[in-house]
Amino acid sequence: MKISSIATNAFLLLAWGSLQEIMAFAPAKQGAVGTNSQLSMVQSGPLPCRPIGIGHAAPKTIVTNKDLESVVETDDEWIRSRTGISQRRLLTSGESLRELGVEASKQALEMAGISAEDIDVVICATSSPEDMFGDATAIAAEIGCSTHTMAFDLTAACSGFLFGSVTAGQFLSSPNTKLKNALVIGADALSRWVDWEDRNACILFGDGAGAMVITNQKDEDNEDDTLLPGLLGYAAHSNGKGYVDLNCSYKGKDVEVSTPDPITLESAGYNYLAMNGQKVYKFATREVPRVVSEALEEADLTADDIDWLLLHQANIRIMETVAKRLKIPEEKIITNLADYGNTSAGSIPIALSEAVRSGKVKKGDIIACAGFGAGLSWGSAIMRWG
């Protein structure tokens, strides 16, 4: 996880637009580090790219709230009323998260009407990969991408799919780019990382994957010769001081290595996922309305202009509070939390895939998305579907 985070950060720096726009401090003069304390924000207006295909996959094993009553001291009524979750789908022993990513990706490509060989960039947003060195390359190979495809993982917990989409958007929008299509996967299996004796956490999470194709090619249905942007605006933030409120931290075990002068190193492992639910709840209901407003402003839109509000599926009460603060009618909330629980990086693309496939979200609809979670990190992107 650590190594993939380093790689991710390097790619993010490369991808997210000009350095002038994203560096916290603008250099005062060449060769000097500026001391201007005015922070610039990671946000942008319309990018010339659009989402054109989406898919999702989830494990077949369904565990209901009632089932969990025999696992921890809880009850269906508590879980439903405090979270909005009724059931979740869990990967059982021997099953693979990567296979869910492959299935979701194939569906997304099919909807987009392009072949895997046309994909230039694959980003797999996950914090629970099958392989600590990353799953994106294996998924890319399995769906049939060529060796020309750049593929890497992005670790940003529940903000991962949102940040991955924005990163892909920047790759496709950089001036004179030769890249045409990107595939962004959001996949997590946090059932592998929760303590099944911790009722605060184990009832919340489910496993699953979603994937979305983004292109900078114009829509053939569009008579106008220009590309109608589909990533209309975004904004993103982090606050590492909130790290303690939600993490899955490294925990090494001493191992003696018999060098001539023996040394004690560590054999790697991780603690269970740890969360202060109330703190994360307050953070989400405070920051998500703000970041959605910032992204809307970048898109030159208001809350009245959006057709759908699609937040990371963590808690129905968070979604309702955010909608209320933004004065967005509850009918515009897209949610499938009741059926899947919190699937971390998978939650936004799984919900979007279901909404597009059921015909709820139609071509041209404007969707305000927001991801938030461990880090702490949070962000919003305003998308026009299709």
Catalytic center residues: 158, 312, 342
**Interface with ligand UT7 in residues 141-200 (CB under 6 A):** 158, 199-200
**54 vs 376 by CB, closer to ligand UT7:** 376
Stretch that binds ligand UT7, among 54-62, 235-243, 279-287, 333-341 (CB under 6 A): 279-287
Among 314, 322, 356, 376, binds ligand UT7 (CB under 6 A): 314
Stretch that binds ligand UT7, among 86-94, 134-142, 209-217, 314-322 (CB under 6 A): 314-322
Q: How far apart are CA 10 and CA 8, in angstroms?
A: 5
For the purposes of burial, counting CB atoms within 10 Å of the CB of 297, is it exposed (0-12), middle (13-18) or buried (19 or more)? middle
Q: How far apart are CA 160 and CA 55, in angstroms?
A: 17
**232 vs 292 by CB, closer to ligand UT7:** 292
Q: How far apart are CA 342 and CA 373, in angstroms?
A: 11
Site string for ligand UT7, 40-79 (x = CB under 6 A): ----------------------------------x---x-
CB of 327 to ligand UT7, least distance (A): 22
- Are 153 and 129 in contact, with CB atoms under 8 Å apart? yes
With CB under 6 A as the rule, give the number of residues binding ligand UT7.
18
Among 342, 353, 377, 380, binds ligand UT7 (CB under 6 A): 342
**73 vs 221 by CB, closer to ligand UT7:** 73
- Are 297 and 233 in contact, with CB atoms under 8 Å apart? yes
Phi, psi of 40 (to 5 degrees): -85, 160
Does the footprint of ligand UT7 cover residue 112 (CB under 6 A)? no
Reading the block at residue 90, the tokens are 């869990």
Reading the block at residue 324, the tokens are 């209320």
Number of H helices, E strands in the chain: 12, 16
CB of 314 to ligand UT7, least distance (A): 3
Listed residue (176, 185, 122, 110) closest to 149, CA to CA: 122
Positions in the binding site for ligand UT7 (CB under 6 A): 74, 78, 82-83, 158, 199-200, 203, 277-278, 280-281, 284, 314-315, 318, 342, 373
